Structures are given as C-alpha cells and as structure tokens.
Chain A
Amino acid sequence: ILNVEQSPQSLHVQEGDSTNFTCSFPSSNFYALHWYRWETAKSPEALFVMTLNGDEKKKGRISATLNTKEGYSYLYIKGSQPEDSATYLCASYSGSARQLTFGSGTQLTVLP
C-alpha cells in the first residue's frame, strides 16, 4: 500500500486569502497524481490529473504543481471564497501497484 500524505489536515482562512496545501507520495514507480475536490454531502470531483514532472495545471483560481522526482504536489487557491470550502483529496497512481491510493485530505474552511 502506497503512503500518500496530505498536510495540513485542516485549514481555516479568511475570504480573499490565498492558500496552499501539500500532497507527498512515493516517487518510485510514479505514474499519475490526481487532485479531487469533495464538498460536504456531495461526491468527489476531479480537479486535475498530472503525470509529468514540472507539470502545472490551472482551473480558474485553483492551480497545482507536480514534482515527481521528490514526490510532492502543491495545490494553490488564489483569493479564497466561501464556496471553496471543501475537502481536497490527492491520490497517487503507481505503475507497479497499478492502484490509485488516496491521502486523507485537507479540509479547507473559508470564512466570510
């Protein structure tokens, strides 16, 4: 079982603040890194799927970077809004295990 870790576990920010959180994963046999956004009472929805070292992806105010050599990914939210409040999950896919392993998530609360 891969060890995928996310930090911090939870985070409270004020509306308008920019924030970021981290996902770390084993760099050996890396194949893909996923980010999902999971709002309360809904199902997780994909934000990004990244495969290449140095990859950067952006969707509106949310962006992500990937470092496969050192085994980490950052998710950035610029100018947080209350509707960004959710749990953000990352998951790493290993080519050897052929399995997507999820971290335990970062719970973001944006205060108005």
Chain B
Amino acid sequence: EAQVTQNPRYLITVTGKKLTVTCSQNMNHEYMSWYRQDPGLGLRQIYYSMNVEVTDKGDVPEGYKVSRKEKRNFPLILESPSPNQTSLYFCASSFTSAGELFFGEGSRLTVL
C-alpha cells in the first residue's frame, strides 16, 4: 500500500529535550516536505527536499533541522524544542514539487 508514515503520532515533551519525528514514504517520490498546522492558519512549510542530499528552508524553518540521506526518509529534528513549536506536523511527498501531495497521518507535538 502506498503510504507516508510518520512517527510518533503523539508526543508530549519538555522544553529543550531534543526530539526527532520520522517520515518515510514507499512511493519512490523525489520531493518531500514538512508542514505545521496551527489553528486559524494554513499549512505552513517548514523544510522541503527536492531529492537526496538536497534540502531547503520553507516559510517557517527556525528551530528545525532536516536531513535527506535516503530517498524514502525525511526526518524532522527539533534540537531544543520550545512551547511555540507545539503544533500538528505533517510530512508529505510527491513526484515533483508541484505535484499532488501525499500526506502522512500527522504528528501532534506538545512542548511543555
């Protein structure tokens, strides 16, 4: 089954404790992206990757890091989480940056 898998789905953590949200896709997509969704705002892009070893900042990259060492994986790293990073996070992938996005199930993160 074609899918994008994110883990964890839910996480409560404390300020400053490093965490990683994993994202994996099995569709051989070149393009992958991370979004955060906050009430009243649309999906805002954090980082994206056009291909292996190619990553770039989106609209709200501060406080986040990513890596793309393999085509299927695109983890999101919060080195020192802060309460303003409490949000719902989505990973998505596509064949191209303009193509239909396939979303993961979302990861709800709470930073205390």
Contacts and interface: CB of A to CB of B under 8 A. Distances in A.
Nearest to B106: A43
Contacts of B40: 104
B43 interface: yes
Interface residues on A, range: 20 to 34
Say whether chain B's binding surface is mostly helix, strand, loop, or mixed. loop
Contact of B42 (A31, A32, A49, A102): A102
A101 B35 CA distance: 11
Contacts of A46: 100-102
B74 interface: no
Nearest to A95: B98
B42 A100 contact: no
Interface of B: 4, 33, 35, 40-45, 48, 58-59, 90, 97-106
| For the complex of A and B, 3 pairs with smallest distance between CB atoms | A102-B42, A43-B103, A102-B43
